[in-house]
Amino acid sequence: MKVTVVGAGAVGASCAEYIAIKNFASEVVLLDIKEGFAEGKAMDLMQTASLNGFDTKITGITNDYSATAGSDVAVITSGIPRKPGMTREELIGINAGIVKTVSSNLIKYSPNVILIVVSNPMDTMTYLVHKTTGLAKNKIIGMGGALDSARFKYRLAEALESPISDVDGMVIGGHSDTGMVPLTGHATRNSIKVSEFLSEERLTQVAEDTKVGGATLTKLLGTSAWYAPGAAVSSMVQAIACDQKKMFPCSAYLEGEYDLSDLCIGVPVILGKDGIEKIVNIPLSDADKAKMQESAVGVKKTNDLLEL
């Protein structure tokens, strides 16, 4: 299994590190446009191999896509992150150009690649890749929901005063402060609905804290987060590499599912060797259905800013 990660910045390097530590890929190529940067990150990471016990070979390259040839999966993290006070949508101008160039270069050298899009505004960048590359829709996957769900579980465990491993929950919808739909009604602690333990008011607070999870970290760090995004991507790559048939909420191109069409937005999917092997239709409450529709309006508004 050969994995390419484009962008050797905070998220890209963290993603490469987690993939290596999980030891399921033979090779990770880290590519960046900044001269020597990916080479340096790759060398630093390789010097952790004997300490962290992995055999994955990580190489770094400056903007030479021939080194990515034959990649099974490629992750696109290239682009600018937001600064405190910015929305993800404000990044569209610069990142759209980067994502378009990067995805076409990747496909040129790896025509069968499965692409995972991370750059923000992620749902719109995933849609851009869908509209401009001609790659099959099962091979274009946006990462947002896996991260947002991890943040939801963190907030749920905090409210429940429980270990995170006790809780389960999922966030669907657009990957934005206003578009996320944390499914509080489906969340559980050891198979018991969390509404048995938490007041409606506390659950609403959990949902709100989840939705601004990225903005909270951006304010603290001065730039957007990287550990949890990197871990989320690595779990998705592992599901594909190991054909796990694991369910994640991912940004997928919809053609009628959830009564939505012609956009990429977060819905539960099964990830396996073919990428998105199935979009899972889960029953939603009327309130969540309405939130999903509203979220889609927001995503489409950002999509309209694309020059396709």
Ligand X SMILES: NC(=O)c1ccc[n+]([C@@H]2O[C@H](COP(=O)([O-])OP(=O)(O)OC[C@H]3O[C@@H](n4cnc5c(N)ncnc54)[C@H](O)[C@@H]3O)[C@@H](O)[C@H]2O)c1
Among 163-171, 221-229, 273-281, 297-305, the segment contacting ligand X (CB under 6 A): 221-229
Among 94-102, 166-174, 191-199, 267-275, the segment contacting ligand X (CB under 6 A): 94-102
CB of 240 to ligand X, least distance (A): 17
251 is in an annotated binding site: no
Binding residues for ligand X restricted to 52-81, rule: CB under 6 A: 77-81
CA distances from 85 to 112, 226, 305 (A): 39, 18, 21
If residue 21 lies in a helix (H) or strand (E), which one and from where to where?
helix 10-22
Contact 121, 251 (CB under 8 A): no
118 touches ligand X (CB under 6 A): yes
Instruction: Name the residue nearer to ligand X (CB basis): 184 or 224.
Output: 224
Backbone angles phi, psi at 113, to 5 degrees: -65, 150
119 touches ligand X (CB under 6 A): yes
Contact 71, 29 (CB under 8 A): yes
189 is in an annotated binding site: no
175 is an active site residue: yes
34's tokens: 């900044």
175, 189, 211, 291: the catalytic one is 175
**Shortest CA distance to 152 belongs to which of 249, 49, 254?**
249
- Enumerate residues 6+ apart whose C-beta is below 8 A from 75: 3, 4, 5, 6, 12, 15, 115, 116, 118, 143, 233, 237
CB of 235 to ligand X, least distance (A): 13
If residue 261 lies in a helix (H) or strand (E), which one and from where to where?
strand 261-272
CB of 165 to ligand X, least distance (A): 22
Instruction: Name the residue nearer to ligand X (CB basis): 3 or 198.
Output: 3
Site string for ligand X, 151-190 (x = CB under 6 A): ------------------------x---------------
3 is in an annotated binding site: no
Report the C-alpha gap between 117 and 161 in whole angstroms: 34
82's tokens: 């937001």
Which parts of this chain interact with ligand X (CB under 6 A)?
6-12, 32-34, 37, 77-82, 91, 95, 98, 101-102, 118-120, 122, 143-144, 147, 175, 223-226, 229
**Binding annotation:** 7-12, 32, 82, 88, 95, 118-120, 151
- List the catalytic residues: 175
